[in-house]
Structure 1
Amino acid sequence: MAEEAAPPKKKSGKLKWIILILLLLLLAGGGGGGAYWWFVMRPAAQGAEGGSEPAKAEGKADAKGGEAPARNAKVAKLPTFPVNLADPTGRRYLKLTMEVEVGSDATVKELEGQSAKVRDAVILLLSSKSYADLAPIESKLQLKNEVADRLNQILGGPKVLRVYITEMVIQ
């Protein structure tokens, strides 16, 4: 018997798969880099250039409907608020820490001077909420607006620009 020549083996296409995977990783990396630039670097670049015209004018509303931040905005840290929630079982509590963006150092000092009123207003607001009231993200955004409104009532004008939730634990 004569040995038959084996037909040549076809390439398995491993090289094509490797190239395809590398291209996909390159596209994903480029997309991730583009997203990073768009969401992180781009706003910083706009801030350095002065931003858009509506944001330059103090007192104009920004795209989210809030006040545009003042150029010299300051951040004041509020104390941590541990409160019982208004749940029927009475077993849930909330631990909330916030910082507020205000227009000036004078407003920071005013907040510190009104600390008892601030604590009272925020504790009353938070203790009126239940877990169901605070669970959805929309409720958290509404809570931030309510806190800003209460603080502005205490300060006697629209001095609180934004409220930032820095810690929120519900048990």
Structure 2
Amino acid sequence: MADAIDSPTPPPAPAPGGSKLVPALLALNLLVVAALLAVFLLRGGATGAPVAAAAGAAHGKEGAAAPPGPTIKLADFIVHLRDTDADRYARVTFDVEVATEEDRTRLTPLVPRVRDAFIAYLSDRTVEELRGSDAIARTKAALSERLGALAAGVEIRALYITDLVIQ
């Protein structure tokens, strides 16, 4: 009897043929991933159809995105920022997108006024008012409003900050 207690009994041998649950789950997982990938690619991914439809609706062409319009590159703006602790400077470059070449021609003579308004606005900002994505969005909104007031007869599509360096 002592021999029966001391000797371990071998574990039962796995059934021949094995379980079909693991391969079935792997196949199901593969199908789900493939379906999600297909939906993602067919809908245009992260930058596809929903954004294009919204852009098309904004321009009155439902379902079709408007092509980019002509742009005017404004020369670098180097402004002294309002800061009491130290002399701080910002270098900012803008591109203005307009609807047509005619709008571009009408905006070109207004560039000195636009530069003056932008410099006046930017030189009244502090470093904290220009740092971060929220601050950049507020700055673009304020400058777009000023641009729209200065160029009333020009259809401005967008104002892009293409370079921003704060020292």
Q: Which of 108, 121, 128 is equivalent to 2:104?
A: 108
Aligned residue pairs total 152
How does 1:120-159 map onto structure 2 within 5 Å?
A: 120-157=116-153, 159=155
Give the drift of 1:102.
Answer: 1.3
Does residue 168 of structure 1 match 2:151?
Answer: no
- Residue 70 of structure 1 contacts residue 103 of structure 1 at CA under 8 Å; is this kept in 2? no
* Cα distance between partner residues in 2 of 1:79 and 1:127: 16
Q: Which of 92, 95, 100 is equivalent to 2:91?
A: 95
Identity %: 29
- Residue 72 of structure 1 contacts residue 104 of structure 1 at CA under 8 Å; is this kept in 2? no
- Residue 106 of structure 2 contacts residue 154 of structure 2 at CA under 8 Å; is this kept in 1? no
Q: TM-score, normalised by structure 2?
A: 0.64
Q: Which amino acid aligns with 1:42?
A: A
* Cα distance between partner residues in 1 of 2:133 and 2:147: 21
* Cα distance between partner residues in 2 of 1:134 and 1:41: 30
* Cα distance between partner residues in 1 of 2:117 and 2:165: 19
Q: What residue in structure 1 maps to residue 20 of structure 2? A: none
**What is the CA deviation profile of residues 57-78 of structure 1, one whole-angstrom value per residue up to 9, with x for unaligned ones?**
59xxxxxxxxxx8667322211
Question: Which 5+ residue runs of structure 2 have no aligned equivalent?
Answer: 1-10, 12-25
Q: TM-score, normalised by structure 1?
A: 0.63
**What is the CA deviation profile of residues 84-135 of structure 1, one whole-angstrom value per residue up to 9, with x for unaligned ones?**
1111124211111111121221221222212211111111111010011111
Q: Rg bigger for which structure?
A: 2
What is the aligned-residue RMSD (CA, Å)?
Answer: 4.3
- Residue 103 of structure 2 contacts residue 154 of structure 2 at CA under 8 Å; is this kept in 1? no
* Cα distance between partner residues in 2 of 1:132 and 1:120: 22
Question: Which 5+ residue runs of structure 1 have no aligned equivalent?
Answer: 1-6, 8-18, 59-68
